[in-house]
Amino acid sequence: MHLALNVIAAEEPQGGVAGWATDLVDRFGGPGAGLAIALENLFPPLPSEIILPLTGFAASQGVLSLVSALFWTTLGSVVGAVALYGIGAVFGRERMHALWAKLPLVKASDLVRTEEWFARHGTKAILLGRMVPVFRSLISVPAGVERMPMPTFVALTTVGSLIWNTVLVMAGYLLGDQWDTVGAYVGIVSKVVLGLAVAALVFYIAIRVRSRSEGRHRRG
């Protein structure tokens, strides 16, 4: 293991993401970084804002080449996204509607409108969604449910992931042993995105509760 990466592994608490990613990159080079990012797509709590800058730092230390870092992390992103697409495809539209019908405060028409929105804007959602923390993983599932053509899905995922990965890998490459500062800034973005999503969900539920309450009053 390269001395600088060895220091990272030593400083990271046992089981920490940086220590785990460091071990993968040190043992397997580019494929190890790709595996880490594939797992990050499948399990969003694993933060790409740590794994990617760390991979860039490893490239700056000569553990792997910059081209290898970008190739394997992008391949890992695509593999993880395709796996989630497969889950959505297996789950299917009929099961999604059946599950939706059992949920409180929602209507079948809400899901239909969501499907119509995805049909109109799905390509943009897949492309741009790759650059939004957390959402970058989840967006693959509705793509599978809606059976977006696989070549289109893979092409958009590759382009979006390459942009996101290049930004974070290059940040780690250029910042050197200060690579971990990238995670702090991206973490703020992640929290803002999650906060907006929660706020939107709370607003939606409040509207649904109010409309149902008004409907009961009118019938009464």
pLDDT per residue as tens digits for the range 197-219: 566 556 655 665 566 566 555 66
Inform me whether the pLDDT recorded for 8 exceeds 70: no
Residue with more model confidence, 188 or 135: 135
Give the count of alpha carbons within 13 A of 91, CB side only: 18
pLDDT digits (tens, 9 = 90+) for 103-122: 665 566 665 666 666 777 78
Measured CA to CA, the distance from residue 201 to residue 58 in angstroms comes to 40
- Structural domain that includes position 25: 3-219
pLDDT digits (tens, 9 = 90+) for 138-165: 788 888 888 889 999 999 999 999 998 9
Determine the average pLDDT of the residues in 14-19: 60
Radius of gyration of the chain (CA): 20
pLDDT of residue 15: 47
Q: Which residues of 198-218 are buried (b: 16+ CB within 10 A; e: fewer)?
A: eeeeeeeeeeeeeeeeeeeee
What is the domain count for the chain? 1
Measured CA to CA, the distance from residue 170 to residue 175 in angstroms comes to 8
Mean residue pLDDT across the chain: 75
pLDDT of residue 182: 64
What are 108's two structure tokens?
A: 């079948």
CA–CA distances in Å: residue 213 to residues 103, 107, 217: 17, 15, 6
pLDDT of residue 185: 61
Measured CA to CA, the distance from residue 210 to residue 28 in angstroms comes to 55
pLDDT of residue 29: 84
pLDDT of residue 144: 87
CB 172 within 8 A of CB 52: yes
pTM > 0.85: yes or no: no
pLDDT digits (tens, 9 = 90+) for 46-102: 677 788 888 888 888 888 899 999 999 999 999 999 998 988 888 887 777 676 567
Residue with more model confidence, 213 or 171: 171
